[in-house]
Structure 1
C-alpha cells in the first residue's frame, strides 16, 4: 500500500519548505567553503581547513539570500520569510520537523488552514524582523568580520507552545515513561527560559531573542487580534452566531503562563505595564462581557478540538475537555460572585467589578472586544 501522509495542506508545505531550503542552504555553504579552500595556497591550506571545518555553523559561510545576515539581507527582503524554515544541521532540522509534524498538524486542524497561515506568518516573521533589528544595530555599532546569521524555527516553536497552552492547557505530557510529567501550560515559559539561559552558556544568543519574541508575538496575536467563534455555551453572553476578537479568558492572561507562586509578584508588574499602555492609547481594557464570554468560550470549545495526539476523539480528549471545562467554569464563577461578595462586605451596591483589587490576572491585558454578528442587544 502506498504511504499516505495524514497532514493538512499548509503543514505539508512548511515541512517540504524546511527540508528543501535547509538542503539548499547546506549545499551552498559547502560550495562556498570548498571554493575558499581551493583558493588557499598550500602553505595555508591546513589553517584554512581548520578554520572552515565548521562550515555548517560558522557565520563566515552564511547565505545572505536565504537567511538573515545583518545588514546584508536588506537587499533580499524575502529572507524574512525563508530564514525561519532554514536549519543548519541535522539535529536542529530533526527537532523542527517533529515540531511541525505534531504541532502544525494539530493547530491547523484546530484553527483552520487560513487562520493557521496568519498565525504562522505573525509568529515566524515578526520575531525574525525584531531580532534582525537588534543585531543590525549591534553590528553597526561594532561590526564583526562575519555578522551573526538569524535563522531557524525557534520562534515558531515558541508560538506553537503558546497556542497549545491556549487550547489544551491542562493536557499533561509524560516523559521518560512517566517519570516526568509536565502540563502544556508550563511549556511556553519553560521553553523561553531555557533558551534565555542557553544563549550566554552555549552561544546560541539568536535563539534567546527568537524564542522571547516568538512567545510575545504569538501571545499578543492570540490574546488581542485573532477572531474566533463563540462557543455554544457562551452565546447567552455574546449573542448567537457571534465572533470574539482575541481571547479575554482568565486562563490565557500573561501571568497564567507562570507558576502560581510567581503570579502575586508578576500581577502588579503586568498591571503597571497595562495601565501605561492604556494611557498611551495603545490598548483598551477588556470589557466585563468579553471576559465572561472568553471564560465561557474556554469551557465550550473543548468538545470541538481534535485530539492532540492523533486528531481523533477518545477518552483522553474527553478527560482533557472535562478538566478544562472545570477550570474555566471555576474562574467564571469566581468572577461572577466577586461583586456580590464585595458589596455584602462593604455594605455598598454591587454594580461594579474591579479586577485589579481582586487580584485578577485578566486586568493586566488589553483589548479583545466581542464582535457580534447579531444585534448588539444580544450581547
Structure 2
C-alpha cells in the first residue's frame, strides 16, 4: 500500500517528465510507445501472450506464425520493462532520429527486432537439438524490446564520442563499454531471477544484428553504406586486454563471409597528394568527422592540463625570496655595442629577473636588451 501511495504522490511529476521526454518527437515514436502500453494490458491474458510472442516451435513450419516476428517486440510482462522501453524509444527520438531521419530509424527498429526473432528462435532450436526438451519449443515465449535496447547502445557507441560515463574502482566506464556491460548485467539479473532466460539471448542477438547492419549495410546520404572505421570494429566492444584474440577471430569470420558473398570487402583509399598519407574510409559522414574532432580535442586538452600540472614553474614574488648565493652569482651586464649611442643614466639601469628552477636547482637569468633611442 505504501508503494501505491508514493506512486500517487509522484504521479504528476512522472507525467511531467514523460511529457517532456516524448514532446517534440515524431508520430512514429509516440505510436511505438502507445502500442507498448496497450500490449502491456494484454499481457494479463495467456492467450494474448501466446499469440503476440514468438514461440520457437510455432514460428517454424508447419505452424508458421510469421506475424509474431513483428508483434513480439511490443509485448512486455513487467511494468518496469515498459518504462525502460518508453524511455529508450523517447531518447532515440531525441538523439538518433534527428541524425538518421524518421524512415531510417523505423527501418533500424524493424530490422533489429526481426533479426532478434530469427536468431533467438535458431538458438532455442539448437538447444532443443542437444537436449530434446519440448519445453524449449512450445513453453518459451520471446517478447519485449531487449534486442532493440542492445541495438540502441550500439548506435550510441557509433554516434557519440568516447566519453567517460562513470568512474568505478575497477576502471572508467565509457559509452564504448555500455553494450557489453549491459549484456553481462542482464546475465547477472537472469542468474538471480530478475529476468527471464530469453532476455540475455535477445540482448546478445540485438548486439550482433545491429552491429552488422550499421557496420555493413546502413545507407548514408552520400551514397556509401556501412561504417568501416577502425573505432567501430567488433573488437572495440571488448576491453583492450582481450582485443587482439577477438581481432583474429572476427577477421577470420569476416574473410569467410566475404568469400561467400554475405559481406563486401573494404576498399581503403589513400590520399597520395597529402604528405601525411591520410586514409579515407568509406561510410564516414559529417557527424563522424565531428565526433573524431571532439575526441581529438578532448585528448589534447587532457594532455595539456596534465603537462601544466607537471611542469608549471614556480616564480618568486620578489628578490627577497631569493637566496643570497643566487644573487651574488648573478652575471654582470655585458657592454653595449659600439655602434649604439650612449643612453641616459636612467635607461642604463637594467633589471635582472632570476628564475629558480625547483626541479633541478639550477638558476638562470634573463636580461632585457638595452633601449635603442
TM-score category (smaller protein): 0.5 to 0.7
Alpha carbons 2:227, 2:283 under 8 Å: kept: no
Comparing both chains, which one has the higher relative contact order based on Cα–Cα distances under 8 Å and sequence gaps of 6 or more? 1
Task: Describe how 1:8-47 pairs up with structure 2 within 5 A.
Answer: 8-26=26-44, 28-29=45-46
Measured after TM superposition, the shift of residue 105 of structure 1 is: 3.0
Aligned residue in 2 for 1:264: 244
Aligned residue in 1 for 2:150: 158
Alpha carbons 2:267, 2:282 under 8 Å: kept: no
Equivalent of 2:217 in 222, 225, 236: 225
RMSD: 3.3
Deviations along 1:269-295, whole A, 9 cap, x unmatched? 222222232333433320112994448
Change (3 A) 1:266 1:144: closer
Bigger CA radius of gyration: 2
TM-score of the pair, normalised by structure 1 = 0.62
Aligned residue in 2 for 1:79: 68
* Distance in 2 separating the partners of 1:293 and 1:274: 20
Alpha carbons 1:250, 1:295 under 8 Å: kept: no
Measured after TM superposition, the shift of residue 112 of structure 1 is: 0.3
Deviations along 1:81-118, whole A, 9 cap, x unmatched? 11111100112112212211223432112210011111
Whether 1:115 and 2:109 are equivalent positions in the alignment is no
Task: Describe how 1:1-379 pairs up with structure 2 within 5 A.
Answer: 5-26=23-44, 28-29=45-46, 63-72=49-58, 74-136=63-125, 138=127, 141-144=132-135, 147-174=139-166, 182-202=173-193, 204-229=196-221, 242-289=222-269, 292-294=279-281, 297=284, 300-301=286-287, 322-324=293-295
Deviations along 1:56-104, whole A, 9 cap, x unmatched? xxxxx77221111232454532221111111001121122122112234
Change (3 A) 1:270 1:70: closer
Change (3 A) 1:6 1:301: same
Secondary structure of 1:227's counterpart equals: coil
Give the structure with the higher percent helix: 1
* Distance in 1 separating the partners of 2:218 and 2:102: 14
* Distance in 2 separating the partners of 1:244 and 1:215: 22
Q: Which shows bigger deviation, 83-92 or 142-151? A: 142-151
Measured after TM superposition, the shift of residue 169 of structure 1 is: 3.5
- Listed as ranges, the gaps of 5+ residues in structure 1 are 30-60, 230-241, 305-319, 330-379
* Distance in 1 separating the partners of 2:269 and 2:187: 37
* Distance in 1 separating the partners of 2:257 and 2:56: 31
Aligned residues, how many? 266
TM-score of the pair, normalised by structure 2 = 0.63
Change (3 A) 1:265 1:139: closer
